[in-house]
Structure 1
Amino acid sequence: MKVFSVIGISKSGKTTTIENIIKELVKRNYSVGTVKEIHFHNFKMDMDGTNTDRHKKAGSSLIAARGANETNIMYQRKLNLNEILDFYSHDFVILEGVRGTWAPTIVTAHDVQGIEDRISETTFAFSGVISGNLSEYKGIPAINSLTEIEKLVDLIEEKVFERLPDMKDECCMKCGHTCKELSSLILKGEKSRTDCVLREQNVILKVNGKEITMVPFVQKILQNSVEAVAGELDGYSVNGNIELLIKR
């Protein structure tokens, strides 16, 4: 799954750019999912007094509202990005308004100041209103999604890579970089996605069917613990895989 973000001030062409990218990606036979960041502090998906709101106030921590044409699942907390992305299995997931992540980023803006307010080491393109007035800025291309959508999606196909694990900096950095730093280096062509040491897990842990990404140190602790116990049992072999299932 490849993930990238489109960020920009209101009315800068952010959502229009995303709409056009989605249409072109679908045209190229990719499956596409999206995540919209809501920046209004008091925003709620549910209305006071509805049946689902009453469920929440009674203490339900997970609420699903199923209708004839859609299903909404509401958690009573803000999920982190990894938790959200675990629900997706699409070729591309586009984040709207999500900042401060490792994800490659397209910035939309009205003017150069709008670019300067949001440009980062993971920015690989500009679009939106500003792309009608310039073709590049600081060596990064500005591409109008209304008139050059094929060119913009060509660049997305070239630059956007498989999702990084986005581990906490203090937990990993086994490649020598944070996930955001590695993303920047991949976009510059100085590193590749294979430089992430977590691309292959030698020890696989699944909780409720979902694989949990572990840094090498944690993998080694789990491996040593299981092998120490299994090694004392009849039938143990140093060759082959060990599988452990804990039912709760």
Structure 2
Amino acid sequence: MTPIVCVVGKSNVGKTTLVVKIITELKRRNYKVSTIKHDVHGFDIDKPGKDTWKHAQAGADSVMISSPNKIAMIKKVEEEWNLDKLMELNNDSDIIVAEGFKTSDKPKIEVIRSEKYTQSICKKEDLIAIASDINHNVEGVAVVDLNDAAGLVDIIEEKILNTRKCDE
């Protein structure tokens, strides 16, 4: 199965901003990256009136759209899929970067911003790093500045990918 790291934290701490920086750095190092975003509130990516929306409104359980450069699928599910099941759909990447899934048993980078909260919400054994604007003392867990994507990707290479790609 493709290796994964989850970027977690409370609402509005900068998870998406950090995920974008991590993706950019992984791509700079020539990794093939997939992402999975968890939305506890639900979402709707189909636009009312569009053909795929009409297909779903007519009762289709799964709707796919394809173009020369991308595909998308909207699938009705009876219950939320767990992270392992979602990961099965991303088997052609070097790594998956997930945003959210703080209760999963997958390795995590927790984003802690002092203006939002200061104590970790994760189990220590799940953490590979804390990205924060303040210092933390969690034994065995690296603390990296919120803006240090390269430092976080170094940790991801060491702990998740078990390799260090050299800059060429």
Q: Fold match, TM over 0.5?
A: yes
Q: Shift of the alpha carbon at 1:9?
A: 2.1
TM-score (norm 1): 0.56
Alignment of 1:138-149 (within 5 A): 138-139=138-139, 140-146=141-147, 148-149=148-149
Residue matched to 1:22: 23
1:125 aligns with 2:121: no
| Deviation sequence 1:130-161 (CA, Å, 0-9, x none) | x2222x32222221242x33222111111125
CA contact (8 A) 1:14 1:108 kept: yes
Structure 1 match to 2:36: 35
Task: State the Cα RMSD in Å.
Answer: 2.3
Q: Is the 8 A contact 1:26 1:32 kept in 2?
A: yes
Pick from 60, 79, 86 the counterpart of residue 84 of structure 1: 86
Paired with 1:112 and 1:23, the residues of 2 have a C-alpha distance of 26
Q: Residue 31 of structure 1: CA displacement?
A: 1.0
Amino acid in the other structure paired with 2:158:
E
Match of 1:208 in 2: none
Query: Once the two structures are superposed, what CA deviation does each residue of 1:170-206 show, in whole Å capped at 9, x if it has no partner?
Result: xxxxxxxxxxxxxxxxxxxxxxxxxxxxxxxxxxxxx
| SS class of match (2:144) | coil
Q: Highest CA radius of gyration, 1 or 2?
A: 1
Note the residue ranges of structure 1 that are not aligned, 5 or more in a row.
163-248
- Matched-pair contact (CA < 8 Å) for 1:125–1:141: yes
* CA offsets 1:82-107 (integer angstroms, 9 cap, x no match): 23211212111011011221210011
Partner of residue 223, structure 1: none
For residue 39 of structure 1, what is the amino acid of its counterpart? V
Instruction: Give me the whole-angstrom Cα distance separating, in 2, the residues matched to 1:145 and 1:18.
Output: 11
1:123 maps to amino acid: L
Q: How far apart in 2 are the matches of 1:101 and 1:91?
A: 20
What's 2:10 paired with? 9
Contact 2:56 2:63 in 1 (8 A): yes
Q: In the aligned structure 1, how far is the partner of 2:104 from the partner of 2:48?
A: 33
Deviation at 1:81, TM superposition (A): 2.1
More helix by share: 1
CA contact (8 A) 2:110 2:120 kept: no
Q: Distance in 2 between matches of 1:112 and 1:11?
A: 10
Higher relative strand content: 2
After superposition, the Cα gap between the structure-2 partners of 1:113 and 1:11, relative to the gap in structure 1 and judged at 3 Å, is: closer
Q: TM-score, normalised by structure 2?
A: 0.80
1:117–1:28 Cα change, 3 Å: closer
For the 8 Å contact 1:2–1:93, the answer to whether it is kept is yes
Secondary structure in structure 1 of the residue aligned to 2:5: strand
Instruction: Find out whether 1:44 has 2:44 as its counterpart.
Output: yes
Shift of 1:72: 1.5
Aligned to 1:159: 159
